[in-house]
Structure 1
Amino acid sequence: MSFDRIKEKLSILADAAKYDVSCSSSGSKRANDRKGLGNTTQSGICHSYTEDGRCVSLLKILLTNHCIFDCAYCITRKSNDIKRAAFKIQEVVDLTIHFYRRNYIEGLFLSSGIFKSPDYTMERLVSVAKKLRQEENFNGYIHLKSIPGASDELMYEAGLYADRLSVNIEIPTISGLKLLAPDKKHEDFLKPMKKVKNEIIKYKAERKILKSTPTYAPSGQSTQMIIGATGESDRDIMYSATHYYKEYNMRRVYYSGYIPITEDSRLPGPETQVPILRENRLYQTDWLLRFYGFSVAELLNETYQNLDLEIDPKLSWALRNLHFFPVDINNADKKMLARIPGIGMQSVSKIIQARKFRKLDWTHLKAIGIAMNRASYFIICNSREFYSKDLTPTMLKQKILKSSKSKHRALFNNQLSLFS
């Protein structure tokens, strides 16, 4: 096939893949110990930065944008009048090696429209990874998208060659999926997730006994939700995400704001494009749930079903729970320190270590690097009084916003002007 045709396919199928945001990597370490090509390290691959500032990236493409389904929110749905293309298995292998040798990429992110059947599509995705590993001796990062409804046998094989597997749940709720993708079944998404989870657990257990046991999907699995295509609240979304973390041991859940790409009476109009700040707030909430000890019910409830776009979710929680403050920085436990606005987990560890040797004052806290423009309203330490006790939550919020010079505040103002 001519170079021009390959280039045309690459243009079409790389553009179609841009809507999938769940392509970053972490946690995988595939050493190159056989004089092969490439290696995968724990520093990450796709659009990530290593500790020395190096940016690394993936070849991110679809195997094909042909699809047998007609999901209302999807650019590649079968009823959409777009230019179609499909790579042959060997073409993807050759492109990956070609780009790697020229230092364009350090790995592959491969997804696909569902062509003919889920198993037919998944088998072709697995074949690409298998050829790269076995024929090209490629040790770089490979992320394969799991096809909903694919057989357990194919999912098992996929995990032997891919570093990470992911199946996009797409819509956060079952009712939303039925509305916008009536041809798809919710259980078809869960089946490959369950298989991957069980195989990872099994292989880890076997590896403890037999060190020669091969790795299975060493970077775990992830999923992605489209936000704003249906009417789910932020509370609905976060309860759904928590379910997938707990039940399927997800490494990451990604949140992708709905982009109006088609006219359909079931979808929001073009003026309702999701502000990127909503995505940011969901990721911040996700982080608080996984690493800061918060529960969904603390951050989102019947009264507050959606996140405040003006301020981060931890500050929003603090303003609604001022009875917990002020916190004495020299006596509070780790859990409470982590709930103070402006103090991250690294700073929590530094505070706990530092106060073993002396009482901390304002100067010490600044040196530790906490965000004083927020934290100062919620703490007391060895050298100052708590002076915001007479401020109402609204007054305190405005005071913090006024003093804040964060990029999120500037971004919020810009987006308000765009959507007003």
Structure 2
Amino acid sequence: MNTRTIEKLSILADAAKYDVSCSSSGSKRKNENGGLGNASGMGICHAYTEDGRCVSLLKILLTNHCIYDCAYCISRKSNDVRRAAFTIDEVVDLTISFYRRNYIEGLFLSSGIFKNADYTMERLVKIAQKLRTEHRFNGYIHLKAIPGASEDLLHQAGLYADRLSMNIEMPTSEGLALLAPDKKREDMVQPMKYLKKAIAENIDSKSASNRSRLFLPAGQSTQMVVGATKETDWDVLGIATEFYQKMKLKRVYYSGYVPVSNDKRLPSVGTPVPFIRENRLYQADWLLRFYGFRVGELLSPATPQLEMEIDPKLSWALKNMQVFPVDINSADYQLLIKVPGLGLESARKICTARRFGRLNWEHLKKMGVMINKVRYFLICDKDYERKDWQPEQIRSFILNGGASKYKAAFSAQLQLF
């Protein structure tokens, strides 16, 4: 690798770190006829798969030159940063070279906008096409769709990439107009609509013919910057839910605003969004997608922000103690997964195990259940005499590990386990 390529890699890999929408799920691209790599059920870019494996990808920008001047973006045209651009062949060669060295398992490729949307999107497509057709590369490829790109280029991208992500950037149109006045929300939404339709049509055609070519097997995703504008968590999760329902997205990613500018429209440079806010949004997102919760159960216009001190499920449970305790030996699956400290897999194990006999706390421990958290919300076989603990007491026990003014009474009751 020559010195200039290394310099470009340093610049464009660093510039790509602000894009967080870079993990895969659901792709089943198989390796055939002696090609390179595969993307079978893997996550990408130092993400963790369901079985705990950590996998990685080459995550770079094609260029950090950009015709836009978005206030929140490190690559905006008015920013005084070093600029660089890869050629198509340089990205292809880097990907193959890194894969052969076992550094990566795929490619995440985004870009600033060169001249216009189609000019840039065409180059991203050519890179994916060359990897697939000339090098028979079957590893994971995630391309960033460029707002305003033509449907023809989006379709070509979908034939070679496992996933496309079209970032909406700001949660609302008003926020986008404030911080990126050159961009239009419709240029982001319309491609999502097209990709949703194309994915559905491809699924239908595959059912008719097994020879149908893969089209975005890992679907599409988006990303929004949180904290650069005044939208609340209530706003953000409501918008995410709408995109999940209407666009059938696989993921919505939440990127806490990182101060990169003194622009007066932005929060001050010294006040980055706390990482814990990102974390809470992802936890709430998980509850909405997999646990049957609705946004209105977690937040409301009167209480529009997620609690930073405790996770959203625990917060909900403490506000709805009339639901608890639930009997571990009779509660249905949908109720069990709402218990703080019980995940989807634990709830499935419980439902399976109790077919063979009544469960107690010892059984739950063997399943790996966090007893110190679930004990406030469950009743087990031969349960102890339950005291009517108040939500603030339970909150204190969980946060402090029992180290509160109620600790003595609580410890005495634990002796009855």
- Both proteins in one fold, TM over 0.5: yes
Instruction: After TM superposition, give the deviation of residue 251 of structure 1 in Å.
Output: 0.7
Q: Percent identity?
A: 61
Instruction: After TM superposition, give the deviation of residue 386 of structure 1 in Å.
Output: 5.6
SS at match of 1:226: strand
Instruction: Determine if contact 1:373/1:404 at 8 Å carries over to the other structure.
Output: no
Task: Give the structure 2 partner of residue 399 of structure 1.
Answer: 397
Task: Give the structure 2 partner of residue 325 of structure 1.
Answer: 324
CA pair 388-287 structure 1, distance change in 2 beyond 3 A:
farther
Residue 118 of structure 2 is aligned to residue 124 of structure 1: no
1:169-318 correspondence runs (5 A): 169-318=168-317
Task: Give the structure 2 partner of residue 418 of structure 1.
Answer: none
Matched letter for residue 167 of structure 1: M
Task: Give the structure 1 partner of residue 408 of structure 2.
Answer: none
Distance of 1:204 and 1:229 partners within structure 2: 38
SS at match of 1:270: coil
Distance of 1:237 and 1:388 partners within structure 2: 38
Task: Give the structure 1 partner of residue 106 of structure 2.
Answer: 107
Instruction: After TM superposition, give the deviation of residue 43 of structure 1 in Å.
Output: 2.8
CA pair 386-380 structure 1, distance change in 2 beyond 3 A:
farther
Distance of 1:99 and 1:65 partners within structure 2: 21
Instruction: After TM superposition, give the deviation of residue 97 of structure 1 in Å.
Output: 1.1
Distance of 2:104 and 2:402 partners within structure 1: 38
Distance of 1:237 and 1:33 partners within structure 2: 42
Instruction: After TM superposition, give the deviation of residue 379 of structure 1 in Å.
Output: 1.4
Matched letter for residue 108 of structure 2: F
SS at match of 1:142: strand
Task: Give the structure 1 partner of residue 94 of structure 2.
Answer: 95
Structure 1 stretches of 5 or more lacking a match? Answer: 406-420
Matched letter for residue 396 of structure 1: I
CA pair 331-50 structure 1, distance change in 2 beyond 3 A:
closer
Distance of 1:386 and 1:394 partners within structure 2: 20
Matched letter for residue 219 of structure 1: A
Distance of 1:162 and 1:292 partners within structure 2: 30
SS at match of 1:64: coil
Instruction: After TM superposition, give the deviation of residue 395 of structure 1 in Å.
Output: 2.1
Write out per-residue CA displacement over residues 357-398 of structure 1, whole angstroms, 9 at most, x where no aligned residue. Answer: 222122222222221111101111211146241x32222211
- How many matched pairs? 403
Distance of 2:293 and 2:119 partners within structure 1: 42
Instruction: Determine if contact 2:220/2:250 at 8 Å carries over to the other structure.
Output: yes
CA pair 362-21 structure 1, distance change in 2 beyond 3 A:
same
Matched letter for residue 57 of structure 1: S
SS at match of 1:355: helix
Distance of 1:170 and 1:322 partners within structure 2: 38
Task: Give the structure 2 partner of residue 8 of structure 1.
Answer: 7
Instruction: Determine if contact 1:70/1:78 at 8 Å carries over to the other structure.
Output: yes
Task: Give the structure 1 partner of residue 135 of structure 2.
Answer: 136
Deviates more, 1:351-360 or 1:186-195: 351-360
Task: Give the structure 2 partner of residue 355 of structure 1.
Answer: 354
CA pair 404-34 structure 1, distance change in 2 beyond 3 A:
farther
Distance of 1:225 and 1:158 partners within structure 2: 22
Task: Give the structure 1 partner of residue 44 of structure 2.
Answer: 45
Task: Give the structure 1 partner of residue 409 of structure 2.
Answer: none
Instruction: After TM superposition, give the deviation of residue 99 of structure 1 in Å.
Output: 1.2
Structure 2 stretches of 5 or more lacking a match? Answer: 404-417
Distance of 2:93 and 2:402 partners within structure 1: 50
Distance of 2:396 and 2:301 partners within structure 1: 24
Distance of 1:48 and 1:302 partners within structure 2: 34
Distance of 2:222 and 2:260 partners within structure 1: 21
Instruction: After TM superposition, give the deviation of residue 50 of structure 1 in Å.
Output: 5.5
Instruction: Determine if contact 2:31/2:138 at 8 Å carries over to the other structure.
Output: yes
CA pair 266-199 structure 1, distance change in 2 beyond 3 A:
same
SS at match of 2:277: helix
Instruction: After TM superposition, give the deviation of residue 52 of structure 1 in Å.
Output: 7.4
Instruction: After TM superposition, give the deviation of residue 303 of structure 1 in Å.
Output: 2.7
Distance of 1:332 and 1:137 partners within structure 2: 51
Matched letter for residue 42 of structure 1: G
Instruction: After TM superposition, give the deviation of residue 404 of structure 1 in Å.
Output: 7.6
Distance of 1:400 and 1:32 partners within structure 2: 48
Instruction: Determine if contact 1:380/1:386 at 8 Å carries over to the other structure.
Output: no
Distance of 1:79 and 1:50 partners within structure 2: 39
Instruction: Determine if contact 1:362/1:383 at 8 Å carries over to the other structure.
Output: no
